[in-house]
């Protein structure tokens, strides 16, 4: 039976908690230039052209909204993570290791980030670190993590099957220079300021404990969590910690503005990102792919009303690329809240109105650490939304597979698939809306397609199999929040299990639901159109293809999938929320299923089970999707044969 590694599994233990009684509506205040200028109501705010933005600690993206009769069981857990409440017990065990969750799609609450910005002790610690050595390294220099040490197997009985064995120690894949060792020491000092360095980490070494802390630090700052000290990581380490906190605050505000306005247009379709308070908020890891067009992008700020049919930025006949409306709205919201600089946020007096005391006990002021909480809901004057926005928009999606290389992969000295550089023309997903006789490209994001993946054959040996992304016409019929994942046939059994004592148990964190599930926190189902029936209706087939988030977010720009189309987690949540907000739909709540898969490993029987496939929003009608062939190179016959591997399962 699956019981989630976080206490919220896809198995029979997942029960909807009784919905809490509706809370009293939070007072709404109008905010301008960082000051409250008066109260308002939802009706008055709409009449006056104001946008209500939720600043409360209970905010989550729209796809996690719930109704009294269809609650979302994972919602309280996600709110805990957003507010840094990493409780004791097994349900939060992995969360206590991960520490930070923005890269997984869970934005920190604004109040948490304001408290971080007000943490003078932590900032002073970073200021004291002598890290000039990080600038002395070559821009191309990358300090790698240590790797598990392997030695020849001394046991004649098993040496033929396992020629090399692990010693339990780690060694660097190459010798570090004196300059690199000093850089590691400086990096470790910054980790110590964030309480991310284990006390047993070895000074000047990229050992396991140091790299674990570096992974968390990289996710904290929305970098590629490679565990390597590369140029982006060094630049962040050298930066001002107050500035990093301020950018994180603006990113968190951006997700709330996206939720409040229903915008998706982030400049990715045009290939031009706008700044928010003079800053590009995303690291290169999360920026869109370069446009393939050679045309010169328009200069200056994008028009707030959205693109006109003949505006610069057209990408094809009757197709217009939307400018960065998300950044424009976030910039305006930040200015209205007084979030214009780290110092401005620290000096802000914007706070929630104090409740009237109902008793002498309630009148006592609770102890407070850091700034007072923000007003839970504010009314802001933001740029008007495009005229083509509405409750039901004529949407379609297009997935361009880009360069598709069919060449059979080579194996390295350990018998595993040898790494090769990503193709120059990566896959992309573009969402369009039909407007009159033309179309507007709302967003264009990097994604993945299928490729050569490791499978376990029926005889227990391993091989590489090409898993293709299905091309042609399809539909998006439903959105699944907090989905569960079913491993495909041939998935190596060992990858689905964890060892606890002498027993093997299901690796439930990858099954879901949860932020480390293979689908992330949201999945959009693909149904392939495979002809028509006698009535002219499309015949649909579910090939288990999904557009979804992923805990392995580095794969979005450089990896490949088993056929699905991965997105960065915050973008997958934006897309899902946009579809639900701008497409008529039916909220079904938890969608039941009866999934059982029995595994055998080392003489033990393990069952993967799931009662629910996720929290379902049915899109009515479905959104059409086209998956393009892309530029295919190589022999198509090559992908029909397996590549044998010598590694043991």
In the Cβ-directed half-sphere of 190, how many Cα atoms lie within 13 Å? 28
Question: Residue 366, Cβ neighbours under 10 Å: how many?
Answer: 5
Domains identified in the chain and CATH numbers:
143-229 (no CATH), 395-644 (2.40.440.10)
- Report residue 168's pLDDT band, with 50, 70 and 90 as the boundaries: confident
Average pLDDT rounded to a whole number, residues 173-181? 97
365-387 pLDDT, tens per residue?
544 568 999 999 999 999 999 99
Q: Across all residues in the chain, what is the average pLDDT?
A: 90
- Report residue 418's pLDDT band, with 50, 70 and 90 as the boundaries: confident
Average pLDDT rounded to a whole number, residues 521-540? 93
215 phi and psi, to 5 degrees? -55, -50
Cβ(30)–Cβ(19) below 8 Å: no
DSSP result, 480-510: EES----PPTT--GGGGEEEETTEEEE-HHH
Count of positions (residues) in the chain: 649
Model pTM score: 0.91
Cβ(50)–Cβ(30) below 8 Å: yes
37-78 pLDDT, tens per residue?
999 999 999 999 999 999 999 999 999 999 999 999 999 999
Burial of 47 (0-12, 13-18, 19+ CB in 10 A): exposed
538-597 pLDDT, tens per residue?
899 999 999 999 999 999 999 999 999 999 999 999 999 999 999 999 999 999 999 999
Q: Exposure pattern of 202-221 as b/e (b: 16+ CB <10 Å)?
A: eebbbbbbbbbbbbbbbbbb
In the Cβ-directed half-sphere of 253, how many Cα atoms lie within 13 Å? 30
- Report residue 487's pLDDT band, with 50, 70 and 90 as the boundaries: very high
Q: How far is CA 373 from CA 110, 111, 114, 260, 272, in A?
A: 9, 6, 9, 20, 35
Residue 83, C-beta contacts closer than 8 angstroms, at least 6 positions apart = 57, 108, 109, 111, 112
Q: How far is CA 25 from CA 48, 434, 630, in A?
A: 20, 37, 51
How far does CA 430 lie from the centroid of its chain?
Answer: 18
Burial of 488 (0-12, 13-18, 19+ CB in 10 A): middle
186-197 pLDDT, tens per residue?
999 999 999 999
Both tokens assigned to 370: 């850091």
Q: Residue 90 — left, alpha, or beta (φ > 0 → left; ψ -120 to 50 → alpha)?
A: alpha
Cβ(512)–Cβ(10) below 8 Å: yes
CA distance 3 to 507: 9
The pairing of strands 51-54 and 147-152 is unpaired
Q: Residue 617 — left, alpha, or beta (φ > 0 → left; ψ -120 to 50 → alpha)?
A: beta
How far does CA 82 lie from the centroid of its chain?
Answer: 14
Range name among 2-11, 204-213, 464-473 with the lowest pLDDT average: 2-11
Both tokens assigned to 146: 């240590």
Closest Cα to residue 261, out of 190, 309, 333? 333
DSSP letter (8 states) at residue 284? G
CA distance 282 to 305: 24
User: Which helix (DSSP H) or strand (DSSP E) does residue 111 occupy?
Assistant: helix 110-117
Burial of 414 (0-12, 13-18, 19+ CB in 10 A): exposed
Q: What radius of gyration do the chain's Cα atoms show?
A: 26
In the Cβ-directed half-sphere of 282, how many Cα atoms lie within 13 Å? 20
Burial of 289 (0-12, 13-18, 19+ CB in 10 A): middle
Cβ(284)–Cβ(274) below 8 Å: no
CA distance 359 to 251: 39
- Report residue 174's pLDDT band, with 50, 70 and 90 as the boundaries: very high
Q: What pLDDT does 71 receive? A: 97
């Amino acid at each position: 039976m699956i019981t989630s590694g976080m206490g919220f599994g896809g198995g029979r233990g997942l029960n909807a908690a009784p919905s809490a009684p509706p809370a009293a509506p939070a007072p709404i205040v109008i905010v301008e230039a960082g000051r409250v200028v008066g109260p308002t109501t939802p009706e008055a705010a709409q009449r006056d052209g104001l946008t209500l933005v939720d600043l409360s600690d209970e905010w989550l993206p729209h796809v996690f909204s719930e109704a009294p009769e269809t609650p979302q069981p994972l919602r309280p857990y996600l709110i805990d993570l957003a507010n840094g409440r990493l409780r004791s017990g097994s349900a939060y065990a992995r969360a206590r290791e991960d520490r930070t969750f923005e890269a997984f799609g869970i934005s920190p609450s604004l109040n948490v980030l304001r408290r971080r910005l007000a943490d003078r002790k932590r900032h002073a610690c970073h200021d004291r670190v002598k890290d000039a050595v990080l600038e002395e390294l070559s821009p191309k220099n990358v300090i790698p993590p240590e790797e598990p040490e392997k030695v020849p197997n001394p046991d004649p009985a098993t040496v033929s099957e396992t020629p090399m064995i692990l010693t339990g120690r780690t060694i660097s894949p190459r010798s570090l220079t004196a300059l690199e060792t000093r850089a590691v020491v400086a990096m470790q000092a910054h980790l110590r300021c964030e309480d991310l360095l284990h006390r047993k980490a070895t000074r000047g070494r990229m050992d396991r404990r140091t790299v674990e802390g570096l992974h968390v630090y990289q996710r904290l700052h929305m970098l590629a969590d490679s565990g390597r000290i590369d140029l982006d990581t060094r630049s962040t380490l050298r930066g001002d910690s107050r500035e990093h906190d301020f950018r994180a605050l603006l990113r968190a505000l951006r997700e709330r503005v996206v939720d409040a306005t229903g915008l998706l247009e982030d400049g990715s379709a045009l290939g031009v990102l706008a700044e928010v308070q003079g800053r590009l908020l995303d690291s290169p890891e999360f920026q869109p792919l370069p446009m393939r067009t050679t045309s010169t992008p328009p200069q200056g700020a994008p028009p707030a009303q959205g693109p006109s049919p003949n505006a610069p930025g057209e990408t094809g006949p009757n197709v217009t690329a939307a400018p960065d409306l998300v950044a424009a709205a976030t910039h305006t919201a930040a200015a209205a809240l007084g979030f214009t600089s780290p110092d401005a946020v620290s000096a802000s007096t914007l706070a929630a109105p104090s409740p009237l005391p109902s008793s002498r006990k309630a009148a006592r002021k609770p102890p407070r650490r850091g700034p007072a909480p923000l007003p839970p809901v504010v009314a802001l004057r933001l740029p008007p939304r495009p005229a083509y926005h509405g409750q039901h928009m004529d949407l379609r999606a297009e997935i361009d597979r880009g360069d598709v290389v069919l060449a059979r992969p080579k194996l390295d000295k350990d018998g595993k698939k040898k790494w090769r550089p990503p193709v120059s023309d990566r896959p992309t997903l573009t969402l369009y809306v039909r407007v009159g006789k033309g179309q507007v490209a709302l967003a264009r994001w990097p994604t993945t397609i299928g490729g050569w993946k490791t499978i376990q054959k029926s005889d227990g040996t391993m091989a590489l199999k090409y898993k293709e992304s299905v091309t042609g016409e399809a539909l998006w019929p439903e959105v699944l929040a907090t989905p569960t994942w079913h491993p495909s046939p041939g998935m190596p059994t060992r990858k689905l299990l964890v060892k606890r004592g002498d027993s093997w148990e299901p690796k439930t964190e990858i099954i879901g639901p949860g932020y480390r599930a293979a689908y992330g926190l949201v999945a959009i189902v693909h149904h392939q159109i495979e002809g028509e029936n006698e009535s002219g209706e499309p015949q649909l087939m579910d090939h288990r293809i999904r557009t979804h988030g992923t805990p392995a977010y580095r794969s979005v720009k450089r990896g490949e999938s088993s056929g699905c189309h991965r997105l960065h987690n915050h973008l997958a949540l934006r897309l899902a929320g946009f579809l639900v907000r701008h497409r008529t739909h039916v909220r079904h709540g938890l969608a039941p299923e009866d999934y059982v898969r029995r595994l055998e490993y080392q003489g033990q029987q393990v069952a993967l089970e799931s009662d629910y496939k996720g929290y379902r929003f049915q899109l009515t009608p479905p959104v059409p999707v086209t998956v393009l062939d892309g530029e295919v190179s190589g022999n198509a016959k090559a992908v029909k044969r397996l590549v044998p591997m010598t590694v043991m399962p």
